[in-house]
Structure 1
Amino acid sequence: MPRTMPETMPNTEVTPAVDSAESEAIESDLPQQYVTLRGVRTHNLKGIDCKIPHGKLTVISGVSGSGKSSLAFDTLYAEGQRRYTESLSTYARQFLQRMERPPVEAVKNIQPALALRQKNDVSNARSTVGTITEVDDHLQLVYTHIGETICPTCETLVGRDTVPGVVTAIEGMDDGTRLILVAQADGGENKHRHAVLKHLVQEGYRRLLIDGEMVDITESDIESLLDREAFPVIIDRIVVRKDEEMRFAEAVEAAFALGNGRLEVHFYDDMERAPLIFDRAFRCNGCGTDFIEPQPALFSFNSSLGACDTCSGFGKVMGVDFKKVIPNTRLTLKEGVIACLETPAYRKDRSELFDACRDREIPLDVPFEKLDAAAQDFIIEGGKRSKNGKTGKKYKGVRGFFEALKKKQYKTHVRIMLARYRGYDRCPDCKGARLNASARNVRVAGKAIGDLWQMRLSEAKTYFDELELPDDQFARVETLLDEIEHRLAYLNEIGCGYLRLDRQSRTLSGGEMQRIHLTASLGRALTDTLYVLDEPTAGMHASDTDKLMQVLYDLRDLDNTVVVVEHDPEVIEGADYIIEIGPGGGEQGGELLFSGPIKEFRERETITSEALLERQALARAAAATALGRKKQPKDYVRIVGAREHNLADLTVEIPCGQLTAVTGLSGSGKSTLCERVLYQGWKAMKGQGGTDAGAHDALEGLERFDDVVLMDQAAVGRSSRSNSLSYTGAFDAVRKLFAATRAAKQIGLTVGDFSFNTAGGRCETCNGAGTITVEMHFMADIEVTCEDCQGKRYGRRVLDVEYRGKNIADIFDMTVAEGVEFFRETRSLLRKLEPLVDVGLGYLRMGQTTATLSGGEAQRLKLATYIADGRKRGDTKPVLFIFDEPTVGLHMLDISTLLSSLKKLVDLGHTVIVIEHNIDFIAQCDHIIDLGPGAGPAGGQLVATGTPREVANTKESVTGRYLAELLDAN
């Protein structure tokens, strides 16, 4: 979908901010080292001309809504995609006339384009970090080529035996060893066994080996042999010598042929000794169990060959949520750690648990979390009791308690009980590995592939760096291992080392997803390609930005053209070429302010270059203000004993009535602390759900708040039918205004006819969507503008109705700021629209779909809606707001607007907590809580707390180091 609704091309002549040399170059036929664009009028772009150098890193910057994405994605990428499709088959080209060409006069020397957007559209539960980065594909091949299948019963290596291999094994025995080679000939049905024995004699096989004794078929009672399903035929008796290789080979070949690929080698001088078993089939020579031979599909949980039969490859099954069963692991058994057994109805089951634990000598007065793994497993899964050294009866465990309840589901109270503790539980068969037993039995260097999936990327990198393999195995997979190490190195370099390979893709943030796609692109080693990225630093700590820049440089050095829409000062300073769009957002933007190398950019006075110079002064002034007004808050919110995920029994104090930033490296535990523990814990306290609340001891100080509001980066709507007007509730008032006009009344139009979601006034060709999706099958679907309504969503009857000279499609084309002026006299609409301007969203088109908003824009839209509702109610009760990186998508100047809005909330008595990485924003907060010191297992600790200056003076804080650089810069 386009980022904003199509608009009429402006007639205003705009003089592009391009020097004379560049103008001459654009007008002439440039060499192939530049992408040249002339007369770009996409959305609010005002006929700009610019060039983008091939093989360079170009950053497009400017204030929010200025037209950066319109240039990068809706023009540059869209045209590259269109031209690529033009090079495809006739089937593909039939849709070209329906693909909307960007409104641009000329585009020259453009390369095939790839877009990496700052959003996560993955909803498939089967997609993981490993599958997206293609690390899984390479691991599957490694395990196929050198994986060793181990029989779980015999703990021996499973493989296919060959004639040369068996001969080599025999020749490796001591000279003079006497052997008997035996093949088990299938006897078939009872009525055919006499014929089978007769046929064996005819073939020259007269002797059988029965119970260690050789039996001659011709001299034995045939009837006594007919009860056997197989006949142990002696193929040959041999003595190990170096010159008998040919005889050994012939005997082994004959044994394999007669024994259906299976051979027994008995020791003539020691018949009590277990025979050696050789088998051409892929089965265990000890117990005869068949196994699936390693192949790529066997190690894929998306394949029916490899997926666990119980959970179908998901790793989880619908069952008991043990976080609900054991909500507080710090309690002992006597204190009621098993919540489901604490009701009078299940007192007998509680006593049974205690008796079983006494039998196993498991203490009842030790916190559950301090019991060893075996004791915890016994309590949950059950097992055999042991008392006085004797094995007692089996205890069913807590899981068995729920299995017994399922048999009584006909009782209402039992169904209620099961529903209370229902959730997704780890698959009991594969233990979350997602694969079936055959795949789990394959090892490389002692590890199954599922063991590698459960590693964090940083752990996986260390494992492969230190992996040692036999020379013959290493030679077979050297290329694969190099590729795995290459991808893992990049994933760690761009700050994703805290993620696990089996982490579901749909749980990733937009920034994480974009960086993972970036790694996959580097792994494919494409060259001469145009990459367009949307804020790759989103969700990234300042310490990881340098690593990301190196990844972008590597992509550039593969002779690719890299175009990045970005606001981060470090990325702007590290670019080869800068394009700045502005000066404002919406209609006030769309002009080319600068286009040229970074060296010239530093010497020009543009909005962004001046903001880069002023950021230190703003940060120092804000830090000084925070330090100067520092006083002991009257109240605190205290999170006591937070230990969810990697949080290390954390206790923190959040001052009320202040703007607090929670900082730290990606994966240090910020979101876990604020969202899982604080927000979900509050919901659980209020009885509003909170089933995902993280483990903690107590939440104190929340009683003073009327509400706790989470403003996360979740999309406010994936539907193309949701827009700024409808989300804020302003659309209802707009429809009423149009329905009240004389023209609408004359032709009988009602309020409902002005909705594009219902039949009546909408365009029935596109059902009010404005676009039609064309399924391409071989590539991403294409959305084309509806030919009947030209993207306006309504039929002609509705579009003919005007309010103050504008029809309803014109209202959608307005920016929010323009809408505020247009509806100045309608107070009900102003109350909905003005908060959007206050939070810096005045540049949004009122018809722009919410599915196209960035995570930061989505948060600010939620905030504006909350403010609007508060104004309507006259709400002044204290509220605790939790924001998750609201600066995503914001220019340095726009951050000031956001800070102003948040501080207004604080001035009204509210408390604001912001999870943030942006150093400019952090420097202007009242209070900082810095987590770390690292990510994943290395995080979850309180590193520093206090004002920005106090944190900057904390040597142990990584965030503090960057704060110090900003605050102390000359």
Structure 2
Amino acid sequence: MNSNPEGKTQPACIEVRGARVHNLKGIDVDVPLHTITAIAGVSGSGKSSLALGVLYSEGSRRYLEALSTYTRRRMTQAEKAQVDDVRYVPAALALHQRPGVPGVRSTFGTSTELLNSLRLLFSRLAHHRCPNGHYVEPSLQVAAMKEITCPVCGTKFYGPGAEDLAFNSGGACKTCGGTGLVRTVDESTLVPDESLTIDEGAVLPWQTLMWSLMKDIAREMGVRTDVPFKDLSQKERDIVFHGPAVKRHMIYQNQTTGASGEMDFTYFNAKYTVENALSRVKDEKGMKRVERFLKTGVCPDCHGTRLSEAARAPRLRGISLDQACTMTLSQLVEWVNGVPASLPDFMRPMAESICASFQSVAKRLVDLGLGYIALDRAASTLSTGERQRMQLARAVRNRTTGVLYVLDEPSIGLHPANIDGLAGVMDDLVDDGNSVVLVDHDTRILARADWLIEMGPKAGAEGGRVLATGTIADMERNPASVIGPYLSGKTAVRVRNPIAKAHLFDIGRIHLATGPVHTVKPLAVAFPKGRLSVVTGVSGSG
């Protein structure tokens, strides 16, 4: 127990007694509060069972139990952990090893909320365009929600609010709906087998999405339906793919009942057949019937920026919002630094306030090695390590206190050069009055902990026991510790001897050439066959 300024004793640690989650063997262990505690051990030794299955599970469950029944019904709750007793556990948050993959509307900018500050910058501080195309100097009118008067033509108009510049709201491109992508018909899928005739089902959409009567109308329009599709003239192919929606009076016979009748039918060419079916899709089953004929491409109107033409109009320091979003975070930090000085004196207090909000969030992300990512990067293309570090930065930004943060292998994807940034985040969490428990294998991260719990001795049924606990110095001296010699540097890992350089390519080579992909520039490399090759570099190097 610790004493507070009023002389009252406070718990010094979380007391876990009789934990039996997964392979844990009824262990008793104390986890210090307001410190960084690392849990080490071989894979499968019970590290995550203790950290997530006991500490996080009980911390989150007990917090949720304090809420009303009505609220709890709408939240996912963890089951009670198999443990005799857990005392003094704070409300807990877990930053999982593999965060969920974001949706199509999520970007690095929206996930980190940096885009909120950037949109506010462009709304409040930019040169805005009047309806007649003239740009007006920045003013306080936008923040006051008052009309702006164009000095050139005298037109009065309102500047856009932050929501009017959001691609998930009023600023979305009308063509793509703010996704930056459009689905169009892939004509190469409409006739997959040109050796078939139209009568034999060569035009696949007419077989699966439309009445087969389209074959008869095509025949009426001069298309030969009894010859292989590959033998059709260019004019006939144009009618099939792009023919006009003409009406034809046809006698139709039902193939099942044999009943017949006269009706007027409108010709749906193969491409429009798919477009019409797509417009009528109402569920996943319907989409599956159509998506085989579609391809995804960059929106022709917004060019992938997701923003409408009006949302791309404001100019700040000579560029638009979509152009700012293409910068890497490190470049954008420098650009934002120059915003206040680019404005009139009366605008600078507001500019400095908004810029400070942006920079406080950006700094932690840069410290965590994410400065190479542009704000418009789709969040679904980020690695698990990058998404986890985004979670970490958000946790620090929230400035909570009295919370237990459980980090599951936070060093995943981190280069040694970025370890200091991660350690700084954990230190900030503890400085704010929180407790940090992390599971990791990296000795550089483990060495930063105030307290270490080692699980083992082996994996599965032969694990689940506490081998040793103590400070890093204690573990280095403890003969029962397996990780101790690795922390002290007395033991080095050497699993196998590498192949001599002269014999690397004796078995052969795998040649790889690529164009630009995210941060990767066009390159060509060769990997030796039958060898263990490693690709390394700082986070974001590609």
- What is the distance in 2 between the residues matched to 1:503 and 1:98? 33
Deviation at 1:58, TM superposition (A): 1.0
Q: Which position in structure 2 is the counterpart of 1:302?
A: 168
Contact 1:159–1:283 (Cα < 8 Å) also in 2: no
* Correspondences of 1:732-881 after superposition (within 5 Å): none
- What is the distance in 2 between the residues matched to 1:599 and 1:444? 54
SS in 2 for 1:72: helix
* Correspondences of 1:27-106 after superposition (within 5 Å): 31-92=10-71, 100-106=79-85
Given residue 359 of structure 2, which amino acid in structure 1 is its aligned partner? E
Q: Which position in structure 2 is the counterpart of 1:451?
A: 323
**CA 1:291–1:64: 2 relative to 1, 3 Å:** farther
Structure 1 residues 561-588: Cα deviation after superposition (integer angstroms, max 9, x where no partner):
1111111110011111101111111211
Choose which of 601, 604, 607 in structure 1 pairs with 2:482. Answer: 607
- What is the distance in 2 between the residues matched to 1:548 and 1:98? 29
Contact 1:320–1:425 (Cα < 8 Å) also in 2: no
**CA 1:295–1:98: 2 relative to 1, 3 Å:** closer
- What is the distance in 1 between the residues matched to 2:358 and 2:455? 40
* Correspondences of 1:712-723 after superposition (within 5 Å): none
Q: Which position in structure 2 is the counterpart of 1:315?
A: 180
Choose which of 271, 279, 298 in structure 2 pairs with 1:426. Answer: 298
Given residue 301 of structure 2, which amino acid in structure 1 is its aligned partner? D
**CA 1:642–1:160: 2 relative to 1, 3 Å:** closer
- What is the distance in 1 between the residues matched to 2:368 and 2:432? 18
**CA 1:512–1:458: 2 relative to 1, 3 Å:** same
Structure 1 residues 439-471: Cα deviation after superposition (integer angstroms, max 9, x where no partner):
222233333222222222222222223443433
Q: Which position in structure 2 is the counterpart of 1:566?
A: 440
Deviation at 1:553, TM superposition (A): 1.6
Structure 1 residues 249-275: Cα deviation after superposition (integer angstroms, max 9, x where no partner):
xxxxxxxxxxxxxxxxxxxxxxxxxxx
SS in 1 for 2:483: helix
**CA 1:656–1:415: 2 relative to 1, 3 Å:** farther
RCO comparison, higher one (Cα < 8 Å, 6+): 2
Contact 2:185–2:271 (Cα < 8 Å) also in 1: no
Q: Which position in structure 1 is the counterpart of 2:401?
A: 527
**CA 1:89–1:474: 2 relative to 1, 3 Å:** farther
- What is the distance in 1 between the residues matched to 2:521 and 2:78? 54
- What is the distance in 1 between the residues matched to 2:78 and 2:446? 33
Contact 2:361–2:397 (Cα < 8 Å) also in 1: yes
Q: Which position in structure 2 is the counterpart of 1:581?
A: 455
Name whichever of 312-321 and 489-498 sits farther off: 312-321
- What is the distance in 2 between the residues matched to 1:39 and 1:30? 25
Q: Which position in structure 1 is the counterpart of 2:414?
A: 540
Contact 1:151–1:441 (Cα < 8 Å) also in 2: no
Given residue 298 of structure 1, which amino acid in structure 2 is its aligned partner? D
Structure 1 residues 117-143: Cα deviation after superposition (integer angstroms, max 9, x where no partner):
011313411112112211122223333
**Alignment coverage as a number of residue pairs:** 440
SS in 2 for 1:444: coil
- What is the distance in 1 between the residues matched to 2:384 and 2:315? 35
**CA 1:462–1:124: 2 relative to 1, 3 Å:** same
Contact 2:242–2:269 (Cα < 8 Å) also in 1: no
Structure 1 residues 763-818: Cα deviation after superposition (integer angstroms, max 9, x where no partner):
xxxxxxxxxxxxxxxxxxxxxxxxxxxxxxxxxxxxxxxxxxxxxxxxxxxxxxxx
- What is the distance in 1 between the residues matched to 2:448 and 2:397? 23
Deviation at 1:156, TM superposition (A): 2.4
Given residue 124 of structure 1, which amino acid in structure 2 is its aligned partner? G
More helix as a share of residues: 1
* Correspondences of 1:334-733 after superposition (within 5 Å): 407-408=242-243, 423-467=295-339, 468-470=341-343, 471-605=345-479, 606-612=481-487, 617-619=492-494, 622-623=496-497, 625-627=498-500, 630=503, 632-640=505-513, 642-669=515-542
**CA 1:133–1:107: 2 relative to 1, 3 Å:** same
Cα RMSD for the two superposed structures? 3.6
Q: Which position in structure 2 is the counterpart of 1:338?
A: none
Matched, 1:115 2:94: yes
Contact 1:62–1:68 (Cα < 8 Å) also in 2: yes
Given residue 318 of structure 1, which amino acid in structure 2 is its aligned partner? R
- What is the distance in 2 between the residues matched to 1:106 and 1:143? 54
- What is the distance in 1 between the residues matched to 2:474 and 2:155? 73
SS in 2 for 1:607: coil
- What is the distance in 1 between the residues matched to 2:320 and 2:102? 27
Deviation at 1:144, TM superposition (A): 3.3
Contact 1:147–1:294 (Cα < 8 Å) also in 2: no
Structure 1 residues 869-910: Cα deviation after superposition (integer angstroms, max 9, x where no partner):
xxxxxxxxxxxxxxxxxxxxxxxxxxxxxxxxxxxxxxxxxx
Deviation at 1:313, TM superposition (A): 0.9
Deviation at 1:542, TM superposition (A): 2.1
Please give the TM-score of this superposition, normalised by the length of structure 1. 0.42
Instruction: Give percent identity, aligned residues only.
Output: 36
SS in 2 for 1:662: coil
**CA 1:415–1:476: 2 relative to 1, 3 Å:** same
- What is the distance in 2 between the residues matched to 1:488 and 1:161? 26
Deviation at 1:656, TM superposition (A): 1.8
**CA 1:454–1:590: 2 relative to 1, 3 Å:** same
Contact 1:315–1:430 (Cα < 8 Å) also in 2: yes
Structure 1 residues 323-363: Cα deviation after superposition (integer angstroms, max 9, x where no partner):
x9xxxxxxxxxxxxxxxxxxxxxxxxxxxxxxxxxxxxxxx
**CA 1:411–1:627: 2 relative to 1, 3 Å:** same
Please give the TM-score of this superposition, normalised by the length of structure 2. 0.72
**CA 1:450–1:41: 2 relative to 1, 3 Å:** same
SS in 2 for 1:317: strand
Deviation at 1:90, TM superposition (A): 4.1
- What is the distance in 2 between the residues matched to 1:597 and 1:524? 29
Deviation at 1:535, TM superposition (A): 0.8
- What is the distance in 1 between the residues matched to 2:349 and 2:333? 20
Deviation at 1:650, TM superposition (A): 2.2
**CA 1:157–1:603: 2 relative to 1, 3 Å:** same
SS in 2 for 1:39: strand
Contact 2:25–2:465 (Cα < 8 Å) also in 1: yes
Deviation at 1:515, TM superposition (A): 0.5
Contact 2:485–2:491 (Cα < 8 Å) also in 1: no
Contact 2:447–2:487 (Cα < 8 Å) also in 1: no
SS in 2 for 1:122: coil
Deviation at 1:472, TM superposition (A): 2.6
Deviation at 1:644, TM superposition (A): 4.4
Structure 1 residues 654-712: Cα deviation after superposition (integer angstroms, max 9, x where no partner):
2222221122223223xxxxxxxxxxxxxxxxxxxxxxxxxxxxxxxxxxxxxxxxxxx
SS in 1 for 2:14: strand
Structure 1 residues 133-181: Cα deviation after superposition (integer angstroms, max 9, x where no partner):
111222233333323312485432178999xxxxxxxxxxxxxxxxxxx
Structure 1 residues 388-409: Cα deviation after superposition (integer angstroms, max 9, x where no partner):
xxxxxxxxxxxxxxx9997449
Q: Which position in structure 2 is the counterpart of 1:720?
A: none
Given residue 304 of structure 2, which amino acid in structure 1 is its aligned partner? G
Deviation at 1:283, TM superposition (A): 6.5
Given residue 655 of structure 1, which amino acid in structure 2 is its aligned partner? P
* Correspondences of 1:920-935 after superposition (within 5 Å): none
Gapped regions of structure 1 (runs ≥ 5):
1-20, 22-28, 163-279, 325-402, 670-970
Given residue 175 of structure 2, which amino acid in structure 1 is its aligned partner? T
Contact 1:150–1:441 (Cα < 8 Å) also in 2: yes
**CA 1:508–1:404: 2 relative to 1, 3 Å:** farther
- What is the distance in 2 between the residues matched to 1:113 and 1:656? 47
Given residue 511 of structure 2, which amino acid in structure 1 is its aligned partner? R
